[in-house]
Amino acid sequence: MAKKTSKGGDAQIEEVTLTIDGQEVTVPEGTTLLQAAQGVGTEVPHYCYHPGLSSPAMCRLCLVEVEGAPKLLASCTTTVAEGQVVLTQSEEATRMRRGVLEFYLLNHPLDCPICDQSGECDLQDYVFAEGREHGRGRDAKRVLGRDDFGGDVLFYGDRCVMCTRCVRFMDEIEENPLLTVVERGNRSVIDTFFEEGLDQAAWGGNVVDICPVGALVSKDFLHKARAWDLEHTPSICPNCSQGCNIELHTRDNLVHRMKPRANLEVNGHWICDYGRGRYEWLNRGDRLEAPVMFTESGNRAMGWKAALEALKARIDDVAEHSVKAIVSPFWSNEDLGAVARLVESLGGGVVFRSPQADEEIPLSGYEGLARRKGLAPNERGAELLGCVRVGDKAGQGGVDDFADHEGVVLVLGDSLDDQLERFAPNAALVVYLGAYTSSALASADFQFPVTTFAEQEGTFTNHVGRVQRFWPALKGPGAARPAWLVLGALLAALQDEEGPSRAEQAFSLVVDSVESYEGLSYESIGAGGGPTGEPVPLAGD
């Protein structure tokens, strides 16, 4: 059989055809047998292999039979060859895997009922699928106890299968070798160097994600929930402008943890500890739950229809005044776009404030990935939509000119906690759309409850102009609605037209107003994101 050739960019890529478990497969030259098998839906058990790390072929669990080879081969390091015939489920291969699994269980404790990894543990799955029904061990298992590795990481040495993924991550990806293997043979154990633990690592939490068993666990998540109780929703990390792809793991309408979601164009398989640990704000209880209008007798809760009709009437009364708006870059393109359209219709301008870090924290072994200086997810989107950055590095100040504004003031998402007195006291009309209560805006003329990114569908634009989608993981409290829906309905009433009823329609309106977004749609963005045109430099970049 002759090799096939395909074009990849300007390079010629040789393709190889082989047979895996009776199925003919064509893959690029250099593909490993493990990757080729995964490509056709055949999962070969493995431990030490991880797609983001080197392959030491030390776990011996991914052995497969290749016709003509004198012995079983490690599929994680053996590359494909033309005409190969590979058997992943042959009697010899399964017998060998069964023996390896039995070897692991000689010392692995049977503490699945109390292990955080239970329900998402590879060892459980592999043993259930093709392990022995009963163990043959008679000697006592090795007991190592628990060790605090620093940061958010605990180590249960009894459960460790010595795959060394954690060691290789620290060596190869973070390039901060804080973990190593000490001792030899059956006494081997993962350990830190004296007092230098993972509290000195900015990306150390990833070792918990890649541990295939329950040897490395998160202190934050310890005994918090069972894996099978958690809903997994694809999303975007909201804690800096990198835009790392994540999953929100939720239960009982609360976020319990954030995990990285693979996207080789943005964050690979990793997220930083800074972003990973900042999700509790999504679980805050001080939420706005109903539209409120301020009257002489105090705040009055209203239904959405009545509240929007009252707001439209007030805007009509002050139509000769311009609008001055401040928005939060923690809100979506769709939300910010709705503010921009309303301000454009009535006349005025939009500003935003965003907290900034002193420095970036790059992941040395993965080019282009860092905890960015900008500590909000949609700074780029705000700038592309014409919003102007104000304030200091703490995301405060910069709003003194609102005090003298006599027109309409619109606030989206920014609770203005640094303002000690009533915000914009001279404004003819103050409207606050927010997720949380605000003392500075407690006497705003209107307070509207809106959903956070975790409670709606939408998009963020990261620091290089990549537009990425997220999906609702939580149910918004009370009558909270997406800001784009509320403002879209208001603008539709002012202009006597129909407003957007779906997030996709709201995004289409953003695309129509921002040249850089031309050609993008929810369908074209997909789960991996889509780049805009030429990125606009952010102030301070």
Do 412 and 335 form a contact (C-beta atoms < 8 A)? yes
Domain ranges of the chain: 4-102, 109-118+136-229, 292-531
Instruction: Encode pLDDT of 169-216 as tens digits.
Output: 999 999 999 999 999 888 899 999 888 899 999 999 999 999 999 999
**In the numeric block, which tokens belong to residue 434?**
């927010």
The answer to whether domain 109-118+136-229 has CATH 3.30.70.20 is yes
Segment of 108-117, 132-141, 144-153, 229-238 carrying the highest mean pLDDT:
229-238
Strands 408-412 and 63-66, sheet pairing: unpaired
Distance CA 489, CA 338 (A): 10
Would the pLDDT of 537 be above 50? no
The mean pLDDT value for 102-114 works out to 91
Instruction: Encode pLDDT of 363-395 as tens digits.
Output: 999 999 999 999 999 999 999 999 999 999 999
Would the pLDDT of 540 be above 60? no
Report pLDDT for 194.
80
Q: Which CATH architecture has domain 4-102?
A: Roll (3.10)
Distance CA 167, CA 193 (A): 12
The mean pLDDT value for 60-67 works out to 94
Report pLDDT for 195.
81
Q: How confident is the model at residue 541 (pLDDT cuts 50, 70, 90)?
A: very low
Instruction: Encode pLDDT of 472-501 as tens digits.
Output: 999 999 999 999 999 999 999 999 889 999
Would the pLDDT of 535 be above 60? no
Do 374 and 463 form a contact (C-beta atoms < 8 A)? yes
Report pLDDT for 2.
47
Per cent of the chain over pLDDT 90 is 84
Q: How confident is the model at residue 295 (pLDDT cuts 50, 70, 90)?
A: confident
224's CB contacts (< 8 A; 6+ apart) are 256, 257
Instruction: Encode pLDDT of 411-454 as tens digits.
Output: 999 999 998 888 999 999 999 999 999 999 998 999 999 999 99
Distance CA 490, CA 311 (A): 8
292-531 has which CATH code? 3.40.50.740
Do the two domains 109-118+136-229 and 292-531 of this chain adopt the same fold?
no
Strand partners, 257: 249
Do 483 and 433 form a contact (C-beta atoms < 8 A)? yes
**In the numeric block, which tokens belong to residue 398?**
């910069």
Per cent of the chain over pLDDT 70 is 96
Would the pLDDT of 7 be above 80? no
Measured in residues, the chain has a length of 541
Higher pLDDT, residue 225 or 496? 225
Mean pLDDT lowest among 69-73, 108-112, 151-155, 535-539: 535-539
Higher pLDDT, residue 319 or 388? 388
Report pLDDT for 538.
42
